[in-house]
């Protein structure tokens, strides 16, 4: 039917795009590692991302199809499964396979990302089968995909800029290049995977929320629904923060053998509290058809993070970067929630 043709056309387009991106990563892995990881010997990290790039494209199309068909619960399960595998497997392989060799250890969490994408893609492939391709649908898809694609691209580029500029800012603070990269590695490979575990739950919640908002006509009911989800996300995040306060020293010393990781985890608690509710408001805006506003908010959030990272990390070191992270997520929550309530009330008056 028509739905199958649309899905088949979207998957066909996506396969071309991810094949090109994967080929670029394979060919340019060494120069990319030199530019963004500051070491040409770190190219295995780039190579480990290729499966996630190739598999993630078609999987995201099938996820969108499940959204449109109203199968949000199934989609939420796949999202939770993927995030759970990324986080838990990432932590486990670091604990059991880490050998002290910098490049190998840095590659481990990236393989966890690819493993999560593989499992999710397999389940989605078995659950959603595509139909024949159609040139007419391909043109329509390209036009409709422009706003969300621009949003993702802008966000990714700004995040990439932030990641690139951080070691430079840490060196400006007074650290050696080796110390700067070591601190950044502890933060991203040890603290982040633990601290952002709640996203596995809140991400699935936002997946369920989006189509529910899209189907609702009464804005009062929309506000009530979104506030309920935001409160639930805050409860999940708060509960995890309490657990982190109690067990972060144990995790850092017993599993990672790196006490500094506990300090980073605790410093990131404000970010943990804000991310879940921010996801709900952003998802609600998308469900209301405010894709362009989500794009503007994403760009503003990324630009703020870039500026804060440069100034705070160069002035206060790695904890300045963590402060920039937290401030960025607090502002993201404020901007997304204010924008949501503004449009919910505006459309109600109309």
- The yes-or-no verdict on residue 95 having pLDDT over 70 is no
Compute the average pLDDT of residues 288-299. Answer: 85
- Say which residue, 118 or 183, is predicted with more confidence: 183
The first and second tokens of residue 263, run together, are 């300090």
Whole-angstrom distance between the N-terminal and C-terminal Cα of the chain?
A: 37
* The pLDDT value given to residue 137: 47
Spatial distance between the Cα atoms of 151 and 224, rounded to a whole number of angstroms: 27
pLDDT band at 51 (very low <50, low <70, confident <90, very high): confident
Distance CA 227, CA 7 (A): 33
Output 236 or 27, whichever has higher pLDDT. Answer: 236
Q: Compute the average pLDDT of residues 208-213.
A: 84
Q: By the 8 A CB rule, do 54 and 22 touch?
A: yes
Mean of per-residue pLDDT scores for the chain: 78
pLDDT tens sequence across 9-29:
666 667 777 778 778 878 887
Average pLDDT over residues 188-206: 85
Q: How far apart are CA 38 and CA 296, in angstroms?
A: 31
| Whole-number pLDDT of residue 187 | 86
Residue 336 has pLDDT above 80, yes or no: yes
Task: Give the Cα separation of 267 and 80 in Å (integer).
Answer: 25
């Amino acid at each position: 039917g028509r739905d199958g043709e649309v899905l088949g056309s979207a998957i066909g387009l996506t396969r071309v795009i991810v094949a090109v991106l994967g080929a670029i990563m394979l060919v340019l892995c060494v120069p990319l590692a030199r530019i963004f990881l500051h070491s040409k010997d770190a190219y295995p990290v780039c190579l480990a991302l290729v499966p996630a790039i190739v598999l993630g494209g078609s999987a995201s199309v099938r996820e969108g199809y499940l959204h449109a068909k109203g199968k949000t619960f199934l989609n939420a399960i796949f999202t939770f499964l993927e995030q759970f595998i990324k986080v838990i497997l990432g932590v486990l392989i670091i604990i059991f396979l880490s050998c002290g060799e910098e490049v190998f250890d840095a590659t481990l969490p990236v393989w966890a990302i690819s493993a999560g994408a593989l499992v999710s893609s397999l389940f989605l492939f078995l659950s959603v089968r595509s139909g024949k391709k159609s040139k007419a649908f391909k043109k329509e898809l390209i036009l409709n995909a422009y706003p969300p694609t621009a949003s993702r691209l802008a966000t990714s580029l700004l995040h990439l800029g932030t990641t690139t500029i951080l070691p430079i800012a840490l060196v400006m603070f007074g650290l050696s290049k080796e110390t700067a990269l070591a601190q950044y590695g502890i933060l991203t490979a040890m603290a982040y995977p633990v601290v952002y575990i709640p996203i596995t739950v809140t991400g699935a919640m936002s997946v369920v929320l989006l189509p529910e908002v899209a189907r609702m006509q009464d804005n009062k009911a929309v506000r009530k629904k979104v506030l309920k989800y935001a409160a639930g996300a805050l409860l999940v995040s708060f509960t995890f923060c309490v657990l982190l306060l109690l067990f972060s020293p144990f995790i850092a010393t017993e599993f990672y053998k790196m006490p500094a990781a506990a300090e980073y985890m605790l410093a990131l608690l404000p970010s943990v509290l804000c991310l879940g509710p921010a996801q709900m408001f952003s998802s609600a805006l998308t469900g209301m058809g405010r894709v362009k506003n989500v794009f503007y908010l994403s760009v503003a959030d990324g630009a703020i993070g870039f500026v804060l990272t440069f100034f705070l990390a160069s002035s206060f070191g790695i904890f300045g970067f963590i402060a920039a992270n937290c401030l960025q997520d607090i502002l993201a929550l404020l901007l997304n929630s204010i924008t949501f309530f503004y449009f919910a009330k505006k459309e109600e008056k109309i």
